[in-house]
């Protein structure tokens, strides 16, 4: 029993000290900033001074959206054949259309974007 308690405490410590604990504070405002960087990188509208920052934000945006999609795929039956580019644009266009929701959590916004774009997203 003591081993289990120690293990749970260790897991809690790792969780609370990691960036995963901060994920709930990742809002739509922050995701929109990453989405705009994604658009600049994709359109190749970068100055040399912006390249590193936008490239990092671009990677963060793609990783975040793909991570939400992969997590949703575990809980929902997601449509097959969707490309990464389609996922990124679905989430980004939803953000563009709903600026009143940017204060909400980024995960909620991306899941809602997928639900709106793919209404056949049934729960398992």
The C-alpha atoms of residue 57 and residue 67 are separated, in whole angstroms, by 15
The C-alpha atoms of residue 113 and residue 49 are separated, in whole angstroms, by 32
pLDDT at 48 (0 to 100): 62
pLDDT at 72 (0 to 100): 77
pLDDT at 2 (0 to 100): 53
pLDDT at 118 (0 to 100): 83
pLDDT digits (tens, 9 = 90+) for 16-29: 444 444 445 889 99
**DSSP states of 73-122 as a string?**
HHHB-PPTT--HHHHHHHHHHHHHH-GGGTTSBHHHHHHHHHHHH-TT--
Structure tokens at 44: 């190749």
Sign of the torsion formed by the C-alpha atoms of 67, 32, 93 and 114: positive
* Class in CATH terms, 24-117: mainly alpha
pLDDT at 9 (0 to 100): 52
pLDDT at 79 (0 to 100): 76
Residues with pLDDT less than 70, the chain: 1-24, 45-50, 77, 120-124
pLDDT at 17 (0 to 100): 43
Picking from 53, 20, 49, 40, the residue whose alpha carbon sits closest to that of residue 92 is 40
């Amino acid at each position: 029993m003591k081993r289990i308690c120690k293990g749970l405490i260790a897991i809690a410590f790792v969780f609370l000290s990691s960036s995963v604990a901060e994920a709930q504070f990742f809002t739509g405002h922050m995701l929109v900033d990453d989405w705009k960087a994604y658009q600049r990188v994709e359109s190749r509208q970068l100055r040399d001074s912006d390249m590193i920052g936008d490239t990092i934000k671009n990677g963060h945006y793609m990783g975040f959206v793909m991570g939400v999609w992969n997590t949703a795929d575990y809980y929902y039956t997601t449509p097959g054949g969707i490309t990464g580019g389609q996922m990124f644009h679905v989430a980004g266009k939803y953000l563009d259309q709903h600026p009143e929701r940017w204060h909400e959590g980024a995960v909620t916004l991306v899941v809602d974007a997928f639900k709106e774009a793919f209404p056949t997203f049934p729960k398992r």
